Structures are given as C-alpha cells and as structure tokens.
Amino acid sequence: MTVNRQWQLVSRPEGRLEESDFKWVEGGLDPLQQGQVRVRVIYLSLDPANRGWANEEPSYREPVQLNRVMDGIAVGQVEESKHSGFKKGDHVQGLLGWQEYAALAGEQLTKLPELPVPLTAYLGVLGHIGLTAYFGLLDVADPKEGETLVVSAAAGAVGSLVGQIGKIKGCRVIGIAGSGEKCRWITEDLGFDASINYKSEDVYERLEETCPQGIDIYFENVGGKILDAVLARMNRYGRIPVCGLISQYNATEPVPGPYNFVRILTQRLKVQGFIVMDYLNRSDEAFQHLAPWLMEGRLKYRLDVREGLQNAPQALNDLFEGANQGKLILQVGPES
Ligand code: NDP
C-alpha cells in the first residue's frame, strides 16, 4: 500500500513559526474521484507568503484550515488520472501542498511544457516567481531606459530577476541584500550596477552614493527601515511596486508605518501593491519573454534545494533569516 506523508497545520503560529505548529501525518491514499488527478510531488516551493497563509486572518486568499495539509506550490508527476486532460507521466504544477501525493481536480493543475529546462525552473523563473518579477516591474512600475531602479531582497528569487529584467530594459540597477557574498553575486554575476549590504552599511548614505540622480523605481520586497531610507531618495513621479514586506511577516505587534510617508505626497509617487495571482491569465505574455531570456543566458538564477519533506517547517524559516541562497525549494521525491 502506498503511504502518503504530509504536514498538517495544527495551530496558528505566533511570530516565527515552529515545528509544533504542524503535525506529521502518515496515511493511505483516498480513491480518486472522476475528474481528479493523482500527483506525486517532486519539488515543493517554499515562499515567504506561506507564513501568512498560516495566519487566522484572511488576506488575499483564505487561510489554511487547521488540521488540513499545509498549502504550497509544487511540481510533480501524474501517477493516475480520471481527467481527460492528463495522463500518467505528465509533469504538472499546482497547489499540491506539503505532502508526497496530492489528489486534485484537473482544473486546479497546469500541465508543464516540454522545454529543455530543469523541472525546478517551473518554481522559479518559469513559474510564479518569474511572473511576479515580470509583471511587478513591467506592468506596475513601467520602467524607462536610463531610470534608476532599486530592489530589495535583491539576491532572492524575485529580487534577482527584477534586477536583471531592469538591466534588460536599460535601467541603472542597485540591489540591497543582506550579505557580502549576496552583494558580490548580484553585481559580478548578474550585472547589477551597485549593491548595498543593509546589514553592514548605512543604507541611507549608500543610496546617496549609488543613486546620484535619485531613485525612479523602488521594487519593494521588505518594508521597514529600508523602505524609509529609499523614500527619502525617491524622485518626483517615482513608482513603488509593493511586492512583499517580509520584515513584518513574523511581527507579533502592530508595525509602524514609514516615517517618510510624506514623500509619497511631495514627490507624487505611485505606490501600488500587486499579487501575482492577478496576472495568471497573462502568464503566456510573460513566459514568451522570460523563456528566451533564460535560454539566451540573459536571466540567471540560483536554486537552494533542500532534501526531505520533513524539513519543510525549518527550511521555511530560513527565508526570514536570509539563510537561503536563491530560490528555496524542497525536494520531496525523486524526479523519476
Ligand atoms: P527570497 O528568495 O527573496 O527570500 C527572502 C529574502 O528576504 C531572504 O533571503 C532575505 O535576504 C530577505 N529578508 C528576510 N528578512 C528580511 C528583513 N527583515 N529585512 C530585509 N530583508 C529580509 O524570497 P522571494 O523572492 O520568494 O520573495 C521576496 C519577496 O517577494 C517577499 O516579500 C515575498 O512575500 C514577495 N512575493 C510577493 C509575491 C506577490 O504576488 N506579491 C509573489 C512572490 C513573492 P537577505 O539575506 O538579503 O536579507
């Protein structure tokens, strides 16, 4: 009998999530219903947003229910299908969850194309990460050649792509990241024009040095003190796509707003939040550019692949400590 192992969410985390917020459950597989597809999970994406999904308050989506499998985006292979659109062996992506086997309606799955790229690319540049970077920068911020773009969490999955797309569009790109090694990678290997190590340097002063013409676009991934320092240097009619605010996802107290909020008024800034799900119906438009950029070597990425579903809760926490080197992925099962 095939056993399915999964992590169920059993309590709402307070601050940093703990392994005790989850229960390790082993059980059999339910019979497949008409229209459903059984998928063996291969790679699970660990995303900062997963932390928010465990909260009780609904945000842009319903919270994960207690005593149910934790949600997570993953890629896997079809084991059994009762849906005409899928057959055994197909590779698919969807909200498969923190488990080894998922049974979902075919409509909830996307069949992956047969491109000469690793399967992991579909959780990164050719998946939700690529869409986030592409539409957040190009649709929300509309960059122009010669403009100055600053991106935070710049060595991370989204940020590293944003900076490279910014370079493709002719921007001057400055990345803010949390270690010397990450700063070196984005400038020497990815072609960012400058970097700022927010843990060892004064961000405000370094922005003054690295952005002598001011900042036209700030791609916001973190919030907090970095946002305030950037606001102080924003140019008139600047744009701030608010992609994420990772510095506050584990907060247990209300988070104060930016001190430099007034700059939104005086500099006529456009500040717009966005959620990648809103762009899913335009994904072909993005992939038609992202895929060739990837094949041509104009987009590079790093993967941080961990082994074993059992390590999911601890690995997710690494995102909040900057302990990931690029897109954080958990290998749940073998590729074939
Ligand atoms: P990353 O690969 O960028 O990993 C997160 C990184 O954030 C860490 O490596 C760390 O890098 C940095 N970080 C963590 N805590 C802090 C802090 N307190 N202050 C500053 N930096 C911090 O993850 P993703 O690329 O997946 O996500 C990046 C952002 O994009 C997140 O905010 C996420 O929520 C958001 N996002 C939003 C989407 C949307 O639809 N709007 C979709 C996908 C992601 P460092 O070492 O540099 O500190």
Q: What is the pLDDT of residues 86-139, one digit of tens each?
A: 999 999 999 999 999 999 999 999 999 988 999 999 999 999 999 999 999 999
Cα separation, 303 vs 170, whole angstroms: 26
Query: Measured between alpha carbons, how far is 301 from 211 in angstroms, rounded to an integer?
Result: 25
Q: Is 322 exposed, middle or buried (0-12, 13-18, 19+ CB in 10 A)?
A: middle
Could you tell me the CA-to-CA distances from 196 to 56, 104, 226, 233 in Å, in that order?
36, 44, 11, 15
**Residue 1: per-residue pLDDT:** 86
CA distance 239 to 68: 40
- Check residue 63 and give its pLDDT: 97
Task: Establish whether residue 275 lines the binding site of ligand 1, counting it when its CB lies within 6 angstroms of any ligand atom.
Answer: yes
Residue holding tokens 């969850």? 97
* pLDDT > 90 fraction of the chain, expressed in percent and rounded: 98
Helices then strands (H, E): number in the chain? 9, 16
Mean pLDDT of the region 1-28:
96
| Per-chain mean pLDDT for the chain | 97
**What distance in Å separates the CA atoms of residue 297 and residue 230, rounded to the nearest whole number?**
30
Give pLDDT, residue 185. 98
Q: Which residue has the higher pLDDT, 115 or 240?
A: 240
The answer, yes or no, to whether any atom of ligand 1 lies below 6 A from the CB of 106, is no
Centre of ligand 1 from the C-alpha of residue 152, in Å: 8
pLDDT exceeds 90 at position 58? no
pLDDT for the residue 226? 98
Residue bearing the CA closest to ligand 1, atom 15: 320
Burial state string for 10-33 with b = 16 or more CB within 10 A and e = fewer than 16: eeebeeebeeebbeeeeeeeeeee
DSSP line for 262-296 = HHHHHTT-EEEE--GGGGGGGHHHHHHHHHHHHHT
Q: Are 125 and 161 in contact (CB under 8 A)?
A: yes
If you measure from the C-alpha of residue 78 to the centroid of ligand 1, how many angstroms do you get, rounded to a whole number?
A: 31
Give which of 186, 141, 179 is closest to 164, Cα–Cα. Answer: 186
Backbone angles phi, psi at 274, to 5 degrees: -155, 155
pLDDT for the residue numbered 110: 96
Question: Does the CB atom of residue 177 touch ligand 1 within 6 A?
Answer: yes
Q: What distance in angstroms lies between residue 224's CA and the mean position of ligand 1's atoms?
A: 13
Averaged over 257-262, what is the pLDDT? 96
- With a pLDDT cut of 70, the percent of the chain lying above it is 100
Dist. CA 273 → ligand 1 center (Å): 15
pLDDT tens-digit series, residues 141-189: 999 999 999 999 999 999 999 999 999 999 999 999 999 999 999 999 9
Q: Is the CB of 320 under 6 A from ligand 1?
A: yes
